[in-house]
Structure 1
Amino acid sequence: VPDSESYAYRLVIPNKEVREVFILQIQEWFKAVVANENETMKLLSSAILDKDEKQIARQLNIVMSRMISILDTKAPDDMKENFYHGLLLGLLRGSNPDWLIKSNRESGDGFSDILIMPEDPDAGIVIEVKYAKEMKELDAACEAAITQIKDKRYDETLRDEGRCDILAYGIAFCRKRCRVVGEKF
């Protein structure tokens, strides 16, 4: 097909084997990106454990400014949260091999975006991701995420595992920026 803007291209993964290779390549890409951002990722991981919301946002904003294009988020508004969820999940998994990280895990009365069980057997982390259409909506989106974690009791699975030192984060994204609100449960 000639290289022209008048043609549309669609990626189709024809079978399970090709899908697995595709996923492995994406995982390898994330590992390479995380390796290049080693210091940033160390600061991000420490900030998450230390409940340092400003540092979490700072490091995520640095990574996004270096890694993604505004075109990466070119999807319908109701799908953009998925992009940021996947980005955050890939960054966390790639930089913290000793953390048990679960995505879309049933907990309480719903499905939490990200549950983290760090090495410390008493610690647990719940992250709810939100998308804001405009920068001025970031704070409200963070608060909505924290409220959702509380209302739906997303910390329940962590408590069932005997984890009692729980941190909850609402992280809202807009284009290549984010804001973070944290709370100790």
Structure 2
Amino acid sequence: ITMFTDNSMEAHNAENIDKLQKLLDGETIDISLKEFTTYPDLRNRVSFDVFMTMMLHTGYVTFAEGSDITGKVTVRIPNQEVLACFNEKREYLYGEDNPYWYNQTLKLVDLLMVNNTDDAQMLISTMLKEFLSIRNTGNELYYHGFMTGILGLASATKNFRYLEEIESGTGFSDIIIDSFDNKTACILELKKTENLEDCYDVADAATKQIIKKDYASKFISRRYKKVYGIGIGFAQKSCEIVSLGNLVEDSVNK
């Protein structure tokens, strides 16, 4: 599993990742059975159908109820024990053992912490298109989990504090990346919409919430030099970012 996901990630094969994700959610997927006389060498980037046929032979997936048993078939993960095995390997996709993903997450943290929202928006949108299953984009919590997977480990690597749903001002901000040594904080508020045309508007609404709830106040009171307020709007596999800039400067000018 690790070897296949590694190759898929390196090839930026979003479709294969989406199918694996669907299995992990307890759903079924359709595959075409492939014949082979010896087990394939996954290092050669075999097709997803060959890989899943091998998983079927070895018991990692089984036929779903009502499925045909030849040709085009429907498969699922058979039990919780195997699901736990798959989930363990899924952690690899977000971890430092996957250089491509891990380096992207480190880059994103750096971009956010200097308020480079143009490049950050492009990078997040690229990650969404490569690794996010569109059927899971109906819930705002899913995007929150996606961003946690991206930012959590990378922030810790850089010795930044990564905080979620922390009380600040008069509310609870979605995500905060806090660099105490640099006296810099990045406040992220996330919102979703069904329509791509509304993506900017929900990002803008997120920034208004940062102001209304006064999320930056505790950092400003601690004499931070830079506190960036950033709203991110998600729509399907795209995002838009609106930045309030350095909120410390705004407080000084008031």
TM-score, with normalisation over the residues of structure 1?
Answer: 0.79
1:83 aligns with 2:147: no
Q: Is the 8 A contact 2:113 2:185 kept in 1?
A: no
Which of 223, 226, 233 is residue 165 of structure 1 equivalent to?
226
User: Aligned equivalents of 1:5 and 1:131: distance in 2?
Assistant: 37
Where does the alignment leave 5 or more consecutive residues of structure 1 unmatched? 14-18
Q: Is the Cα contact below 8 Å between 1:70 and 1:175 reproduced in 2?
A: yes
Q: Which position in structure 1 is the counterpart of 2:206?
A: 145
Q: Using the aligned pairs only, state the percent identity.
A: 21
Does 1:156 find its partner at 2:217?
yes
Aligned-residue Cα RMSD (Å) equals 3.3
Does residue 123 of the first structure (1) align with residue 162 of the second (2)? no
Q: TM-score, normalised by structure 2?
A: 0.59
Higher RCO (Cα < 8 Å, 6 or more apart): 1
Name which of 172, 181, 185 aligns with 2:242. Answer: 181
> What is the CA deviation profile of residues 109-164 of structure 1, one whole-angstrom value per residue up to 9, with x for unaligned ones?
11100111125441111000000110110111111000000000011232344424
Aligned residues: 175
The amino acid that maps onto 2:172 is F
Aligned residues of 2:93 and 2:101 also touching (Cα < 8 A): no
Distance 2:110 2:129 in 1: 20
SS at match of 2:198: helix
Verify: 1:65 aligned to 2:129, yes or no: yes
Pick which of 93-102 and 146-155 moved more.
93-102
Report the Cα offset of residue 64 of structure 1. 1.3
Q: Is the deviation greater in 37-46 or in 133-142?
A: 37-46
- Higher Cα Rg: structure 1 or 2? 2
Residue number in structure 1 paired with 2:168? 107
| Closer/same/farther in 2, CA of residues 140 and 31 from structure 1, 3 Å limit | same
SS in 1 for 2:210: helix
The 3-state SS of whatever aligns with 2:230 is: strand
Q: Which moved more, 1:45-54 or 1:153-162?
A: 153-162
The 1:28–1:159 alpha-carbon spacing in structure 2 relative to 1, beyond 3 Å, is farther
Tell me which residue corresponds to 1:95. 154
Rounded Cα–Cα distance in structure 2 between residues aligned with 1:83 and 1:57: 18
Q: 2 CA distance for matches of 1:63 and 1:129?
A: 16
Residue 117 of structure 2: aligned partner: 53
Amino acid across the alignment from 2:150: L
2: CA distance, partners of 1:125 / 1:60: 16
Change over 3 Å in CA distance of 1:116–1:34 after alignment to 2: farther
**How far, CA to CA, are the matches of 1:5 and 1:141 in structure 2?**
43
